[in-house]
Amino acid sequence: MSTPTAMPARLYIVATPIGNLGDMTARAIDTLKQVAIIACEDTRTSGKLLAHFGIDTKSEQTINDSSNDKTDKTADKKGHNKLWAYHEHNSAIQTPKIIEMIQQGHSVALISDAGTPLVSDPGYQLVQAAHSAGVTVAPIVGASAAIAALSVAGLPSDRFSFIGFLPAKTHGRQKQLDALKSRTETLIFYEAPHRIIASLKDMAEIFGADREVTFCRELTKTFETVYKSTLGALIDFVSADDNQQRGEIVIVVAGNSSATDDDDISTHDALLQRLLEDLSVKKAAALGADITGVKKNALYQRLLELQNE
């Protein structure tokens, strides 16, 4: 029989640094030291991180690992390799194995190559399976490139949407951007270096060259860039410097401010009149603001006008 770990048998979602190793939390280190299995995107990348923090990738715990990859066969043996490869190409196979390990009493941590797992990284299937199986899922919080970029962007952060990577092909990218152009909340994108100029040009064409944007590159790393401008000016900035076309890139784009102008409020009259049928002016204004992105006070005034017409 396998010997359960002293740590509660759960699935731990562990955030790791996005660049600066000083951002690794003490709780994350402690968790990775104690769990029986560490599921990671790339065992070589994660192996270097774990070595830096003195986290042994060999476990003294006995584990029945009769179904793991051939390279990691350690059934009913001590000193098994804690690192299990878990990525988009093997998730369908590895997910049930990991859930079974937890159900047998072993603790499992999921990490990505950098940052918080599941944010444009593998892991959704595993977390979903854990919930379906009644397995407890615990977050070990830490770095996230999207939130780090939002925190320094100087753009509204009360409402935002994480879009992640846009489609690689021009047609698909432009189609998605067109669907987003009227959104009023701040938008957060990831982009690959070799597509950054093409993506910025598509954004400028569809959102408008004067749309505010903050370009964040290599956050927390030595050559970090945080550059706030407009999309039109940003294209010039990135095009003029090859270094800005390298590394990890986050683009934080302001929402469509024209959709919140008072002059445009009348376009929402049909919605406001319908809300007034069932709600007070105050509640209708609050719900209308959530739906349209228009300021609540502006909608409140328009609702009063509609009542008096």
Q: 198: which 2 tokens?
A: 């093409």
The pLDDT, as a whole number, for residue 60 is 66
The pLDDT, as a whole number, for residue 300 is 87
Assess whether pLDDT exceeds 50 at residue 306.
yes
Residue 4: inside a domain = no
Q: Where are the alpha helices (DSSP H) in the chain?
A: 26-34, 43-52, 91-103, 124-132, 145-152, 170-180, 196-207, 231-239, 269-276, 281-292, 296-308
Residue 133: inside a domain = yes
Beta-carbon contacts of residue 171 (< 8 Å; ≥ 6 apart): none
For strand 212-217 and strand 225-230, is the pairing parallel, antiparallel, or unpaired? antiparallel
- Tell me the pLDDT tens digit for each residue of 213-268: 999 999 999 999 999 999 999 999 999 999 999 999 999 999 998 754 444 567 78
Beta-carbon contacts of residue 82 (< 8 Å; ≥ 6 apart): 35, 36, 37, 38, 56, 57, 58, 59
Q: Which domain holds residue 101?
A: 11-143
- Tell me the pLDDT tens digit for each residue of 76-108: 445 678 999 999 999 999 999 999 999 999 999
Alpha-carbon gap, residue 27 to 53, rounded angstroms: 12
| 137 and 18, same domain (yes or no) | yes
Compute the mean pLDDT over every residue in the chain, rounded to the nearest whole number: 90
Q: 141: which 2 tokens?
A: 């919080």
Alpha-carbon gap, residue 203 to 201, rounded angstroms: 5
Calculate what percentage of the chain has a pLDDT beyond 70: 89
C-alpha to C-alpha distances, 8 to 29, 293, 305, nearest whole angstrom? 16, 43, 59
Residue 211: inside a domain = yes
| 151 and 138, same domain (yes or no) | no
Alpha-carbon gap, residue 235 to 54, rounded angstroms: 43
Assess whether pLDDT exceeds 80 at residue 70.
no
Cα end-to-end span (Å), the chain: 78
| 15 and 139, same domain (yes or no) | yes
Q: Where does the pLDDT of residue 67 fall: very low under 50, low under 70, confident under 90, or very high at 90 and above?
A: very low
What is the number of H-type helices and E-type strands within the chain? Answer: 11, 12
Residue 6: inside a domain = no
Report the domain count for the chain. 3
| 185 and 296, same domain (yes or no) | no
Beta-carbon contacts of residue 47 (< 8 Å; ≥ 6 apart): 57, 83
Residue 1: inside a domain = no
Residue 152: inside a domain = yes
| 20 and 107, same domain (yes or no) | yes
259-298 burial: b if 16+ Cβ within 10 Å, else e: bbeeeebeebeeebeebbeebebeebbbbbbeebbbbeeb
The pLDDT, as a whole number, for residue 295 is 81
Look at the pTM and tell me if it is higher than 0.85.
Answer: no
Examine the fold and report which residue of 238, 258, 278 is the final residue of a domain before the chain moves on: 258
Examine the fold and report which residue of 258, 285, 300 is the final residue of a domain before the chain moves on: 258
| 236 and 128, same domain (yes or no) | no
Q: 3-state SS of 141-188?
A: CCCCHHHHHHHHCCCCCCCEEEEEECCCCHHHHHHHHHHHCCCCCEEE
| 39 and 135, same domain (yes or no) | yes
Q: 95: which 2 tokens?
A: 């997910």
Residue 2: inside a domain = no
| 26 and 63, same domain (yes or no) | yes
Residue 109 burial by CB count (10 A; 0-12/13-18/19+): exposed, middle or buried? buried
Examine the fold and report which residue of 258, 278, 295 is the final residue of a domain before the chain moves on: 258
The pLDDT, as a whole number, for residue 54 is 96
Mean pLDDT over 41-64 rounds to 88
**Torsion, Cα of 67, 70, 71, 73 (10° steps):** 50
- Tell me the pLDDT tens digit for each residue of 204-215: 999 999 999 999
Alpha-carbon gap, residue 32 to 109, rounded angstroms: 7
- Tell me the pLDDT tens digit for each residue of 110-140: 999 999 999 988 899 999 999 999 999 999 9
| 238 and 274, same domain (yes or no) | no
